Amino acid sequence: MIEIERKFLVLSNDFIAKAFSKKRIVQGYLNSNPERTVRIRIKEDKGFLTIKGKGNATGTTRLEWETEIPLSDAEKLLAICESGIIEKIRYEVKVGNHIYEVDIFGGENEGLLMAEIELKDENESFEKPIWIGKEVTNDRRFYNAYLSGKPFKSW
């Protein structure tokens, strides 16, 4: 139930040719409070309910609980979420021993490209491909819950 993750801006679309997976994601927040976010996500034809706790001082580690829910339930819950639905296409790219999840955002967040990598330990080393840019792990503006209320296009 602990998630250790780092986030980076993406410099180019060079990762697309190396991706082994591509999925459309739509998500909203029943609660976007950073102390405890409650997210509804539809990934392709599956629904998910996720609860995340507040991150630690570095922003890399926090509690995360997720469960799959029926698609019809996810659609109903998405309809009552806070305003600001997140739309993105997620690519998965294997780099070394890790998998980067790279999101190309649409809608009000169009123009934002961001990559996340999950780690087993905060100090775990990992390879950074040439398309990875600035780290934004501890910059709350790049949290999806923040982007739902203050979209990238409005910055």
User: Which residue numbers are catalytic?
Assistant: 29
Q: For the chain, percent helix, then strand, then coil, each to nearest 5? A: 15, 50, 35
Q: Which of 64, 88, 67 is nearest to 5 (CA)?
A: 64
109: its two tokens: 């967040």
C-beta separation of 91 from 19 below 8 A: yes
Distances (CA, A) of 107 to 51, 69, 73, 87: 24, 25, 23, 6
Per DSSP, the residues of 18-77 read GEEEEEEEEEEEEE--TTEEEEEEEETTEEEEEEEE---TTSSEEEEEEEEE-HHHHHHH
